[in-house]
Copies of this chain bind each other. A is one copy, B any other.
Amino acid sequence: MSIHAPEVANRIQLDERELPQRWYNIQADLPFPGSPPLHPATKQPVGPQDLAPLFPMELIKQEVSQERYIDIPQPIQEALRLWRPTPLMRATRLERELKTTARIYYKYEGGSPAGSHKPNTAVAQAFYNKAEGTKRLTTETGAGQWGSALAFATKIFELECMVYMVRISFEQKPYRKSMMRVWGAEVVPSPSDRTQAGKRIRAENPDSTGSLGIAISEAIEDAAGREDTKYSLGSVLNHVLMHQTIIGEEALVQMERAGAMPDVVVGCVGGGSNFSGLAFPFLRDRLGGRSKTRFLAVEPAASPSITRGKYAYDFGDTIGMTPLLKMHTLGHAFVPDGIHAGGLRYHGMAPLVSGLADHGFIEAVAYPQRTVFDAAVQFARTEGTIPAPETAHAIRAVIDEAVKARERGESPTILFNFSGHGLLDLAAYDAYFDGTLSDVTLSEARIQELVGSL
Contact = CB atoms under 8 A, between A and B. Distances in A.
A286 interface: no
A69 interface: no
A297 interface: no
Contacts of A17: 9
A183 B377 CA distance: 8
Interface string A59-76: 000000000000000110
A1 B430 contact: no
Contacts of A112: 384
A46 B385 CA distance: 39
A181 B12 contact: no
A380 B427 CA distance: 25
Interface in A111-160: 111-113, 115, 130-131, 152, 155-158
- Residue among A75, A111, A423 facing the most chain B CB atoms (10 A cut-off): A423
Name the residue in A155, A175, A184 with the highest tally of chain B Cβ atoms < 10 Å from its Cβ: A175
Interface stretch (A77-85, A201-209, A300-308): A77-85
A16 to B, nearest CB: 4
A13 interface: yes
A383 interface: yes
A385 B113 CA distance: 5
A11 interface: yes
Copies held by the complex: 2
B430 A181 contact: yes
Given A82-B383, A182-B380, A184-B381, A16 B5 contact: no
A178 B1 contact: no
Contacts of A381: 155, 182-184
A41 interface: no
Interface centre among A14, A83, A112 (most CB of B within 10 A): A83
Interface in A417-436: 423-424, 426-427, 429-430, 433
Given A13-B14, A174-B430, A113 B179 contact: no
A386 interface: yes
Contact of A182 (B3, B178, B377, B383): B377
A1 B113 contact: no
A15 interface: yes
Contacts of A289: none
B82 A5 contact: no
Contacts of A178: 426-427, 429-430
A115 B157 contact: no
Contacts of A441: none
A6 interface: yes
A274 B74 CA distance: 34
A13 B10 contact: no
Given A115-B423, A175-B426, A381-B155, A78 B3 contact: yes
B113 A5 contact: no
Contacts of A152: 384
A6 B75 CA distance: 9
Contacts of A424: 423
B183 A82 contact: no
Contact of A78 (B5, B15, B423): B5
A23 B140 CA distance: 48
Given A1-B157, A13-B15, A381-B155, A181 B429 contact: yes
Contacts of A111: 111
B11 A13 contact: no
Smallest CB-CB A-B distances: 6 pairs? A113-B384, A178-B426, A3-B75, A11-B16, A175-B426, A5-B74
9 contacts: A9-B17, A13-B15, A83-B385, A93-B156, A113-B386, A178-B430, A181-B430, A182-B381, A423-B424
